[in-house]
Structure 1
Amino acid sequence: MNLHDTSYKLLFSYPEMVKDLLTGFVHEKWVENVDFNTLEPYKTDFISEKFHSRNDDLIWRVRYQENWLYIYIILEFQSSIDDFMAIRLWVYIGLLYQHLIKTEKLNRHDKLPPVLPLVLYNGNQRWNAPISLDSLIHPAPEGLAQYRPQLHYLLIDELAYQDAELSPLKNLVAALFRMENSRNHEQADTIIVEVIKALADWLDSPEQAGLKRAFVAWLKQIYLPRHLPNTPMPVINELEEVRIMLEERVQQWYAEGMQIGVQQGLQQGEYFGLQRGRQEEKQRDILMILEIRFGELPLSLVEQVKSMTEMNLLETCLKQAVLAESLTVFCEQWAKTN
């Protein structure tokens, strides 16, 4: 999983994002009757045991009337489109059902829960793969059609949405889509500043501090390096800092490009000072994510993270902080890394 995928998975590890994904982009009647107060993540380790690369899948469940309803989300960022996505989801949902039968000790009198298969696609071209399993299978002889497996998945293709559709929505996922799609928009700078200002207003309560930090992490790790390539970045910890920086300096950075970036780097302490700042920023990101996910951290672990200076190892540990199932698992992976 690359840094982009990791940042996205961190964002969608918050129930507010999943709620806004469903309420804003799943236009079906049943969504109105979901109790979003019961929304909770469901572990996917039973999938990764079979398919080691499936770290970019998310499963959530929520109460619909008296029963659980599961949402299986695949975050798809590959440059090439998977024509057989319907097969993948068919297999994964089968594994989910097997896991539920085993762990819930279901018998023949029990019913399996409904599952929404959802593909969130963020590629550079429009999705064109079949969204139904049936369309991937040759027509069956007469009498055999009734035995064909059936599955349709819901596709949310970010490129399918225009900024004019998304801008009126008070929706966190719509805000994310606007920022992602702004790279293809002539008013990119205006859009990003507008979105960041809205996010700062929407995420102003203390209980939303973790999600706000996740957006900051995405902006400084993904959006800003892509939007302003080869430009040294100041230390950024708040959405307001991103907004102010873009409003005041983005046009100047575009005009003078890398030369001004180098000059700023020299003024701020040359290469080594800049490198140290990046190391400290990665260390803070690791500790922030661990604290968000697992609570107060042992002082010994905090000191170990702060003592690590190699950027490759810091990147690895950042991904482990997002993906580890527990603090114990992270510490075990940390020990192997070191």
Structure 2
Amino acid sequence: MDIIKNPHDSLFKRTLGDKEVAVDFLENYLPNSILKEIDLTDIKVAKDSFIDKELEESFSDILYNVSIDGKEGFVYLLFEHKSYFDKMTPVQMLGYILDIWKLYNKQNKNEKLPPIIPILIYHGDRKWKYGSSLSELIEATSEAISDYIPGYNYLLYDFSNYSDAEIKGQIKLRLFLKLISHIFDDDFDKGLREVLPLLIELREKTTGLEYIETVVKYILNIGEEISLNELDQKAKTISAEGSAVIMTIAEKIYHDGKEEGKVENMHEMIEFAMELKFGLSSKKIVQEINKIDDYERLKNIKDAIKSYDSLEELVKNIDI
């Protein structure tokens, strides 16, 4: 399994970088008082990211260009995916808001700066405790002094504290939110039980396979140091169909479809499928299979793996 440099960022961008999912999120979670002021019919996803390079492992962001009260405006989504609290997050967000205004001012000749609605999605293993205003981080002082201290409010969504019943939206959004709400659980079984039915449902959609691949990679890179075999076994105890989805995507992940290196790719796919189905006990057989350089023979072995429930049965029925 390839190690994804930043699996949180990959999942976040793949999900909320989709305009349809972005609208779904905003319509379901923005307060009605704000939603009625925004026109989402022509939402645009900006390509710019405002995250400092050294903080890319801790934050992801997306900037949406929308119409607010009939004028140009922005919704700025900051996704914090540290597993620990950082009280400076609102300060960092303020810096990103200022950077957006600076960039806008450089690119436009408008006298006024556009409004920016800041949203923080917190993704930690404990409840967020720093409120939803920058002022909550600053020592209380007299009104005469506080008038000169910068401050702003932001919308906060701490999905680590949401019940499954509170998670709303279409399939991709619910899948994303259920994943981030459960991924740091000590026991991911409950999260997998919530996620698998959505993966099965999404598989039926023509555009769903790529996104399922992202989800499976995310689980394997983040979830409780889970192996491919363990993930498949967990899936089997919940749903045979869910396990089949995992296997289908696993094969896709491990096969790039190129003509070059077909034998090497097939070796890799067989090793992966053997470990996934039979565990580490298959290693000696895999070593023998890796000596085979006949592509068609290897293909027959790969296909045979699906047909047998035990390693002994497989070995009896394949030509090694």
Normalising by structure 1, report the TM-score: 0.61
2:226 matched to 1:217? no
Give distance in 2, aligned partners of 1:5 and 1:245: 27
Give distance in 2, aligned partners of 1:231 and 1:186: 14
**Displacement, 1:124?**
1.6
Change in 2 beyond 3 A, CA 1:116/1:267 = farther
Change in 2 beyond 3 A, CA 1:83/1:140 = same
1:230 counterpart letter in structure 2: S
Give distance in 2, aligned partners of 1:177 and 1:138: 34
Does the 8 A contact of 2:45 with 2:65 survive in 1? yes
**Displacement, 1:117?**
1.0
Give distance in 1, aligned partners of 2:283 and 2:98: 53
Change in 2 beyond 3 A, CA 1:83/1:144 = same
2:248 matched to 1:230? no
2:197 matched to 1:194? yes
SS in structure 2 at match of 1:80: coil
1:222 counterpart letter in structure 2: Y
Q: Map 1:115-130; keep pairs closer than 5 Å.
A: 115-130=116-131
RMSD after superposition: 3.5
Which string of whole-angstrom CA distances, capped at 9 and with x for unpartnered residues, describes residues 264-288 of structure 1?
6666777859xxxxxxxxxxxxxxx
2:78 matched to 1:74? yes
**Displacement, 1:93?**
0.8
2:92 matched to 1:88? yes
User: Bigger CA drift: 264-273 or 181-190?
Assistant: 264-273
2:162 matched to 1:161? yes
Q: 1:43 aligns with which of 47, 55, 62?
A: 47
2:138 matched to 1:137? yes
**Displacement, 1:11?**
2.2
Give distance in 1, aligned partners of 2:280 and 2:100: 52
1:95 counterpart letter in structure 2: D
- Counterpart residue number, 2:115: 114
2:156 counterpart letter in structure 1: L
**Displacement, 1:123?**
1.5
Change in 2 beyond 3 A, CA 1:214/1:39 = farther
- Counterpart residue number, 2:19: 15
SS in structure 1 at match of 2:72: strand
**Displacement, 1:5?**
2.5
Does the 8 A contact of 2:38 with 2:66 survive in 1? yes
1:118 counterpart letter in structure 2: I
SS in structure 1 at match of 2:40: strand
- Counterpart residue number, 1:262: 280
How many corresponding residue pairs? 246
SS in structure 2 at match of 1:60: strand
Does the 8 A contact of 1:62 with 1:69 survive in 2? yes
Change in 2 beyond 3 A, CA 1:31/1:125 = same
**Displacement, 1:192?**
2.2
2:195 counterpart letter in structure 1: I
Which string of whole-angstrom CA distances, capped at 9 and with x for unpartnered residues, describes residues 214-272 of structure 1?
522322212256378233589xxxxxx983526999xxxxxxx9893234666677785
SS in structure 1 at match of 2:78: strand
Give distance in 2, aligned partners of 1:157 and 1:137: 21
Change in 2 beyond 3 A, CA 1:187/1:68 = same
**Displacement, 1:12?**
2.1
SS in structure 2 at match of 1:72: strand
Change in 2 beyond 3 A, CA 1:101/1:270 = farther
**Displacement, 1:35?**
3.0
- Percent of matched pairs sharing the same residue: 19
Change in 2 beyond 3 A, CA 1:220/1:266 = farther
SS in structure 1 at match of 2:132: coil
Does the 8 A contact of 2:46 with 2:65 survive in 1? yes
2:7 matched to 1:3? yes
Does the 8 A contact of 2:65 with 2:75 survive in 1? yes
Give distance in 2, aligned partners of 1:64 and 1:7: 28
**Displacement, 1:41?**
1.5
**Displacement, 1:156?**
1.2
SS in structure 1 at match of 2:53: coil
1:173 counterpart letter in structure 2: L
**Bigger-Rg structure (1/2):** 2
**Displacement, 1:196?**
1.6
Change in 2 beyond 3 A, CA 1:144/1:159 = same
**Displacement, 1:170?**
3.5
Q: Map 1:233-248; keep pairs closer than 5 Å.
A: 243-245=242-244
User: Bigger CA drift: 142-151 or 75-84?
Assistant: 142-151
